[in-house]
Structure formats: structure tokens, C-alpha cells
Structure 1
Amino acid sequence: MKIIVNSDHNISLTQESIAGLESLVETSLGHLGARLTRVEVHLTDGSAGRSTGDDIRCRLEARPEGLNEEFVTDNASTVDGAVSGALHKMVNVLDTVFGRLDHRKGGDSMGGVEPR
């Protein structure tokens, strides 16, 4: 799983902060890493540097192998908060996507009750 961190010109990231964000993504999505080819983190400051509340937006894009990419967004007042919120949403989305793939036709019937 390749992790790419991008930001607009209003958010300045150091190499240490990028490494920290990559580590956060790896920790949150690591259990799905074998099924993902790439995860992109896009950070933007909606208020162009002014502090107006939840103005930092994280758009997270995950590319499952052989499937369409999945997108989520989250807004927060800090970069870490926005990334954490987006990762929480992405874990839920990917667990649903992979759960559906793992339980296709041929699995147990709904509720464990066999049709008559």
C-alpha cells in the first residue's frame, strides 16, 4: 500500500508531519493493506489560513486492488483531526466493501434460515 500526502499552499507540512500522517494512515488501514494499492490524503484549508473553525478538509482516496476507488471527506479545525475523522469513515467504507465481496453468493442465507 503506497501512501501519498498532498496539501494546498495554505497548509505547510514538514517531512516529520508527513511521516506522522503516513504512520497514522498505516495504523488505521494496515489491516487492509494487502487489498489496497494506494491511499491518497488531500488536505485543503477552506478559509485560506484564517482560523474560522472546521476549515481544514481532508479528502481521503483509497484504491482497492481490482475495484473502483473509494472517497471520503472530513472537516476539522486541525490537520490531525481532519485526517483522523476521514480515516474513521474510510475504515467503515472499506470494511463494508470488502465484507460484501467476502460474503457473495454461495454463502449462508440471510439470518441463517434456509429457504423452503
Structure 2
Amino acid sequence: MQINVNTNSSISGSQGLEEHVETVLRSSIERFEEHITRVEVHLSNENKEKHADGGNSCTIEVRVRGHQPIVVHEHSDDLRQSIKNAGSKMARALDSMFGRLQDKGRHGIAAPAVDALADKHLTDS
């Protein structure tokens, strides 16, 4: 899983910040790693002069093999909290997407089985 961290000019990108992002994301979405091709993280402080307004934001875009990208966005007073919250949102979004796909697969498999049972019942009658 490739993780790219991008910051705007209001955030000083550092090795420690990138490591924090990677640690949070790996713990949040690692179980989906075999399906993910790339993760783009965008960090910014939209109002760097105002420190207590929740202007720190984290946007995470996950590219899932064979599907449209999934994007989540989170604002917080603290940049690290914003990253953690966005990682949690992404885990829930991926859980939801893969759950829906699994349900579709079950319904797609179950429908022919139900049809076969109905056909058998009609021929036995």
C-alpha cells in the first residue's frame, strides 16, 4: 500500500508527521491493504492565523483496485487529531463498501439457488 502525504504551505511537512500519518493509516485500514493500490493524504491549515477554529484539515483519498476512489475529510483544532479521525472515517467507509459488495455477492449467488429450489419443487409436484 503506497501512502503519499501532501501538505500545503501552512503545514511544515516533516518526517515525524509523515510517520504519524502512515502509522495511523496502517492501523486503521491495513486489513484492506490487498485491495488498495494507493492512498493520498492532504493536510492543511485553512486558517493558520486563527489557531482555535478547527482549521486543520485532513483529506484522505483511497484508490481501491477496480472501484472508484473513496474520499473522506476531517477538520479539527489539532492536526494529529484530524488525521486520526479521518483514518477512522476511512476505515468505516471501506467497511461499508466491502460489506455492500459482499452482500451483493451473497444475493447474486443466493438467487439462482432459490430459483433452482423453486424449479425442483415445481417438477416434484
The interval holding the TM-score normalised by the smaller chain is 0.7 to 0.9
Question: Residue 85 in 1 paired to residue 81 in 2?
Answer: no
Instruction: Tell me which residue corresponds to 2:33.
Output: 33
Backbone CA RMSD of aligned residues: 1.7
Number of matched residues? 109
Relative to structure 1, is the Cα distance of residues 107 and 72 closer, same or farther in structure 2, using a 3 angstrom cutoff?
Answer: farther
Q: TM-score, normalised by structure 1?
A: 0.86
Alignment match, 1:106: 109
Q: Which range moved further: 43-52 or 21-30?
A: 43-52
Gaps of 5+ in 1: 109-116
**Percent of counterpart pairs with the same letter?**
28
Match of 2:118 in 1: none
Task: Provide the rounded CA distance (Å) in 2 between the counterparts of 1:48 and 1:2.
Answer: 29
Asked whether the equivalents of residues 39 and 60 of structure 1 are also in contact (C-alpha less than 8 Å), the reply is yes
Tell me which protein shows more helix as a share of its residues. Answer: 2
Deviations 1:33-78 (A, max 9, x none): 1111111110111103431321101111011111000111000111
Q: Which residue does 1:6 correspond to in 2?
A: 6
Q: Which runs of 5+ in 2 are unaligned?
A: 112-125
Task: Establish whether residue 23 from structure 1 lines up as the match of residue 23 from structure 2.
Answer: yes
Specify the SS of the correspondent of 2:47.
Answer: coil
Structure 1 moving runs of 4+ over 3 Å: none
Q: Rg bigger for which structure?
A: 2
